[in-house]
Chains A and B, each alone.
Chain A
Amino acid sequence: MNALLLALGFFLALAGDSLPMGPLYLALRPDFVALLLLYWAITSATELGLGVAWIIGLVQDVVDGGILGAHAMAAAVMIFVLYAGLGKVRNLPPWEQLFFIFILLLAERLVAWSWQIWGGPIAWNFALLLGPLTGALLWPVFVYLLDRIRHRLRSA
């Protein structure tokens, strides 16, 4: 994948993750950075390093102003699970990957969420499941759009 395209993609994903658009958007929005990271890991020819995922998660932490290390760890765990446990997912068509994407996004959110323990005791909130759910449902569309963009750029 083109480095410039990746940088632009992650910039937009970071922006999308903190866009002030009201409570409904907040509850439903998927973690765009995690989605893009998964897309990158699944489509790239070579394995995406855990360290790279960690760095991207750290950038997310910096932009969020939260505890440094939360999203970094979450991203590394997510990519680890993808390669270690769900390796075959990479070969499935996007709509069959949907369920696994949900699991991976959920793992990411759980790790980032549990990191908040540094801030004090936290209560479980079922709304935390919504983001990964919409993320998984959007996955086929997401893959289709990104594939189209990459194809367009390659042929141009």
Chain B
Amino acid sequence: MPSLFFPRRLPQTVRLLALALFSVLLSVFTQGQGDLRSMALDAALPVQWFNGRTAALWDEVWRNLHSRAALEAENARLRQALAAAQPLLLDRDILHSENRQLLALLDSFPQAPGRVMAARVIAENFTAGNQIITVDHGQNDGVFNGQAVLAAGGLAGQVVAVGTMTSQIALLSDLDSSVPAQSAENDQPLLVSGTGNPRELQIPFQARNTPLRAGERLVTSGLGGRYPPGLPIGTIQSIRRNGTQAFADIQVRPAVALGRLNTVLLLWPQEGQPQAAKSP
């Protein structure tokens, strides 16, 4: 292999140091450049297209492996579950309309969710701290940077890079992710941050005598305008107070199975509502 960059006589150690310096500079100067990320995403399109096809094929094979009997049993079970859920749904509708009327009385905005679009996950780009997935919708479908992303159970994350036909989503478990939240029981504002582990989120900077308790459910507070309020984030799993540390160590189990997402919902805010800003 002919040497691409270096004069032939240059020792390996010097080459490695030069590359290290170059890598550091590259990392520092390209960090947080949205345009660069969009370009990278478009460059990765062939690989991601291939991944999408493979994942779809795998799903199909998996589905065919399930016997007809198992599917029928599942169907029956789901029918029963649906029948059981029907009264609850009715309840919910009644509560919803009641809530609407009350909010109208209070002269406030009814919090109807905006438009959503389902997107298929075509790649998981998980490294130690980055919990990023790639989905098959991009600029062509009107996806924008900072858009809130839902999945079965609640909030999944937000769009961090938009390509022409694909976009990348940082999950709540991403190390860089922080969501303004509040406990469903009291309205004390909190932040829920990612840990790099898809099964665990944390609440940083809560004093040892925090009123939070294990089992409390957390929802988005809507502060900051990025996420609409009231979306489920997760449940407080444990609160540990270690030795002399000033802050409690609070673990949160995410409401969404972040490690195994097949489909996500991209959320467009309702017109006229002061939600997600166009740029981060």
Contacts and interface: CB of A to CB of B under 8 A. Distances in A.
B130 to A, nearest CB: 5
B23 interface: yes
Give the one of A26, A48, A66, A77 with max B CB within 10 A.
Answer: A66
Interface in B108-130: 121-130
Q: Is the interface of B mostly helix, strand, loop or mixed?
A: mixed
Given A116-B175, A123-B196, A11 B128 contact: no
A19 B54 contact: yes
A16 to B, nearest CB: 9
B51 A20 contact: yes
B125 A18 contact: yes
B205 interface: no
Contacts of B2: 49
A69 B27 contact: yes
A116 B129 contact: yes
Interface string B135-179: 000000000000000000000000001000000100000011000
Q: Is the interface of A mostly helix, strand, loop or mixed?
A: helix
Interface string A1-31: 0000000000100110011111100100000
Contacts of B20: 73, 76
Given A73-B20, A83-B12, A63 B44 contact: yes
B127 A113 contact: yes
A110 B235 CA distance: 32
Given A19-B54, A62-B40, A62-B43, A122 B175 contact: yes
What are the 4 tightest A-B residue pairs by CB atom distance, in nearest-first order? A69-B23, A116-B129, A69-B27, A18-B123
